[in-house]
């Protein structure tokens, strides 16, 4: 599933500044999980859909914490899925063709559920717009919410997150790298020079 996404390289020291370490990411994830339960009065109607690649791993981490905090003993797959948005992107024609990642939805579907979209970085908002289109192809949720680990600003569409791990003021000439241990051997968020990659 992640074959097309190489681990994010760690540049030589000095080129980057780590803004969230593993402990920060764990605490932010735990807090968001509790906020999701609080906002939705429990988690029985909630479906977490992670946007590949790193959003999908974040969604699984959030799902584990939601089930623990809400004291539910059900398989993770009944709560968490992944949502590929490639076919709905607005920049398909501006880049080389992209590989398509799998979409998996919990067996109960998303009709009349609260769908929480999960991604690593919220930036222009275009990924989320594509995700909203992709969700409406899958069904009609009662409500859609958005959880991100990092909101770095610079929105190009009227979109905001419901749950944010950390607001990170950045310049457009910087890039934000989220590394997760499932792919990159380390949990951290770093800011570096060089603009959006």
**Shortest approach of another protein to residue 197 CB, angstroms?**
6
Measure the CA–CA gap between 118 and 128, rounded to whole angstroms.
9
Contact 106, 74 (CB under 8 A): no
Between 60 and 88, whose beta carbon lies closer to another protein?
A: 88
Minimum distance, C-beta of residue 62 to another protein, in the bound complex (Å)? 16
Kindly state the smallest distance separating residue 175's Cβ from another protein, in Å. Answer: 8
| Residues that bind another protein in the complex, under the rule CB under 8 A | 1, 3-5, 51-55, 84, 86-88, 91-103, 119-124, 126-127, 133, 137-139, 175, 196-197
* Region at 14 (left for phi over 0; alpha for psi -120 to 50; beta for the rest): left
Which of 92, 40, 89 minimizes the C-alpha distance to 62?
40
Q: How far is the CB of 156 from another protein (least distance, A)?
A: 9
Task: Compute the distance between CA of residue 84 and CA of residue 137 in angstroms, rounded to an integer.
Answer: 12
Question: CA 99 from chain center: how many Å?
Answer: 19
Judged by CB, which is closer to another protein: 50, or 67? Answer: 50
The residue among 22 and 92 lying less far from another protein, judged by its C-beta, is 92
Instruction: Say how far apart CA 148 and CA 54 lie, in whole Å.
Output: 11
13 or 96: CB nearest another protein? 96
Give the torsion through C-alpha atoms of 107, 109, 112, 115, to 10 deg.
100
Which helix (H) or strand (E) covers residue 189, if one does?
A: strand 188-193
Q: 68 vs 98, which CB is nearer to another protein?
A: 98
d(C-alpha 164, C-alpha 160), whole Å: 10
Q: Tell the smallest beta-carbon distance from residue 129 to another protein (Å).
A: 11
Cis peptide before 53 (omega within 30 of 0): yes
Question: Minimum Å distance from CB 37 to another protein?
Answer: 25
Question: Between residues 46 and 134, which has the closer beta carbon with respect to another protein?
Answer: 134
């Amino acid at each position: 599933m992640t074959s097309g996404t190489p681990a994010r390289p760690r540049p030589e020291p000095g080129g980057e500044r780590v803004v969230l370490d593993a402990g920060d990411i764990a605490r932010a994830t735990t807090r968001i999980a509790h906020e999701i339960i609080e906002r939705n009065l429990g988690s029985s109607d909630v479906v977490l859909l992670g946007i590949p690649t790193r959003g999908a791993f974040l969604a699984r981490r959030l799902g584990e914490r939601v089930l623990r905090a809400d004291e539910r003993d059900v398989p993770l797959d009944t709560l968490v899925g992944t949502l590929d948005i490639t076919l709905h992107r607005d920049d398909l024609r501006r880049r080389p063709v992209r590989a398509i990642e799998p979409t998996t939805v919990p067996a109960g579907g998303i009709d009349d559920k609260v769908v929480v979209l999960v991604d690593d970085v919220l930036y222009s908002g275009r990924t989320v717009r594509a995700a909203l289109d992709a969700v409406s192809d899958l069904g009609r949720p009662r409500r859609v919410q958005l959880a991100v680990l990092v909101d770095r600003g610079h929105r190009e569409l009227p979109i905001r997150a419901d749950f944010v791990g950390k607001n990170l003021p950045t310049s457009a000439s910087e890039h934000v790298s989220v590394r997760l241990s499932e792919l990159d051997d380390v949990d951290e968020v770093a800011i570096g020079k060089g603009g959006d990659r």
